[in-house]
């Protein structure tokens, strides 16, 4: 009988060890934000879920695409990226649109957000949910509009496609 209890204890120890390893891997995967890459969502037009790897990595990826956080209050936008699912979705969608591209000159994310809200028909100081950031066509236009506001008169570019150039191009 004690031999059977020893086998049961050994089996239980193995189960606990496997559970702890799995939980640790899940926690590490969540912290690193790799699940969206391993298990992409389908049926949503290719939208990236609002899972942020880390605000600093997102900030770097945005910067690589020539999108800075703000001309006026980077700390505030950094907090939004850390805490606000809507801003996280906005950043994720901008990165999805800019994959393999960069803007010809720097555009602030908070300006893009304001222009996007305008195009969605939302008062710029009103909060909207992440699910309302759901229109890539309007996001492209918002990025272009925010870029255009930074330009001197006489620029020739007329659309997002004119200002989003391939990386290295």
Provide the domain limits for residue 121.
55-152
Q: 19 and 64, same structural domain?
A: no
pLDDT per position as a tens digit, 24-69: 666 666 655 555 555 544 444 455 454 545 777 889 999 999 999 9
- Do both 74 and 6 map to the same domain? no
Whole-angstrom Cα distance, residue 85 to residue 76?
14
- 71 & 14 share domain: no
Check whether 90 has a pLDDT greater than 60: yes
Asked if residue 108 lies in contact with residue 68, where contact means CB atoms within 8 angstroms, the answer is: yes
DSSP code per residue over 16-70: HHHHHHHHHHHHHHHHHT-HHHHS---SSTTPPPS--S-HHHHHHHHHHTTEES-
Residues 114 and 60 in one domain: yes
């Amino acid at each position: 009988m004690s031999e059977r209890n020893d086998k049961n204890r050994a089996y239980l120890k193995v189960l606990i060890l496997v559970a702890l390893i799995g939980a640790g891997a899940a926690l590490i995967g969540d912290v690193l934000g790799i699940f969206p890459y391993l298990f992409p969502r389908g049926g949503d037009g290719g939208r990236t879920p609002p899972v942020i790897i880390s605000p600093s990595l997102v900030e770097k990826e945005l910067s690589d695409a020539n999108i800075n956080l703000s001309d006026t209050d980077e700390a505030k936008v950094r907090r939004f990226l850390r805490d606000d699912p809507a801003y996280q979705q906005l950043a994720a969608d901008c990165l999805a649109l800019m994959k393999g591209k960069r803007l010809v000159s720097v555009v602030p994310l908070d300006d893009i957000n304001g222009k996007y809200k305008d195009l969605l028909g939302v008062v710029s100081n009103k909060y909207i949910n992440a699910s309302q950031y759901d229109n890539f066509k309007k996001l492209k236009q918002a990025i272009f509009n925010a870029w255009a506001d930074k330009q001197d008169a006489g620029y020739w570019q007329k659309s997002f496609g004119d200002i989003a150039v391939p990386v290295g191009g």
